[in-house]
Amino acid sequence: MRDSDVRAFMLRMAGEQMTWQVPEYETLARTAAIFAQTPPLRPMECLLPGWDTGLFGCTLREYVGTAQLIWASAVTSAGRFDPAMFETPDGALIARHVGRDTVAALLDAHFATSIEQFRAENREAVARAGRDDHLRRFAYNPLRGRPLLTGLGPGYLCPVPHLAWAKAAPWGVYFTGLRHYGKRFARDLGHLFEQYIG
């Protein structure tokens, strides 16, 4: 067996065995711990008061709450999230924590994409992956950036529910912040993370 074959085999095994072995609640709590509860020791460039509203269009709490809501709905509703759930008695309870208008705005801005856009991004990812069909499944999945699909029935389809909460995990916030603020966000987060881990 060649070294490249062993490497490809180990990559496949790691992707299959370790991808989702991350605790959801602890990971989302870590988002609050890093971004909201860790005091910076250096001056921040972009993680200043209101950074979350500038990035998400809402507070960090509302963003994380929306991700949890999507994830919980998708897990319990066969991969679906339907905003009509706000019309139910449970929806009234949820609205006390994150409002329907906020959720609707976040769905369009950060979580959902059309099936056509997904297919176009997926074609690009396949082209970038190259010729090795065995490694294609480890290439970028457009659902990582937008885990909900529109145009496939009522509400939204969430084919991989774990990708919904991952948008609000520290690494999900990192990639969203990096796209919006650039390297300044990465530097600020690096300083916060150093302080967080002590």
Asked if residue 38 lies in contact with residue 187, where contact means CB atoms within 8 angstroms, the answer is no
pLDDT value at position 17? 52
Looking at residue 19, its pLDDT comes to: 56
- The per-residue pLDDT for 96 is 73
What angle is formed at CA 74 by the lines to CA 69 and CA 79, rounded to 5 degrees?
160
Taking Cα atoms as reference points, which of 99, 92, 73, 95 lies closest to residue 155? Answer: 73
Can you tell me the distance from the alpha carbon of 21 to that of 172, in angstroms, rounded to the nearest whole number?
Answer: 16
pLDDT at 5: 72
Tokens of 5: 């074959």
pTM of the shown model: 0.82
* Residue tagged 């929306």 (tokens): 66
Q: Whose CA is closest to 76, among 59, 88, 58?
A: 88
Domain boundaries, the chain: 25-197
Q: Could you tell me if 184 and 42 are in contact, meaning their C-beta atoms sit under 8 angstroms apart?
A: no
pLDDT score, position 143: 86
Contacts of 174 (CB under 8 A, 6+ apart): 185, 186, 189
Angle formed by the axes of helices 170-181 and 183-197, nearest 10°:
150
The one-digit pLDDT tens for each residue of the chain (198 residues) are 566 678 777 766 665 555 556 677 788 889 999 999 999 888 999 999 999 999 999 999 999 999 998 998 898 888 899 888 888 777 766 777 777 888 889 999 999 999 999 999 988 888 877 767 777 777 788 888 999 999 888 889 999 888 998 999 999 999 999 999 999 999 999 999 999 988
Q: By the 8 A CB rule, do 105 and 181 touch?
A: no
The whole-angstrom separation of Cα 195 and Cα 188 is 11
Cα–Cα nearest to 56, from 176, 184, 183, 181: 176
What local confidence, expressed as pLDDT, does residue 150 receive?
93
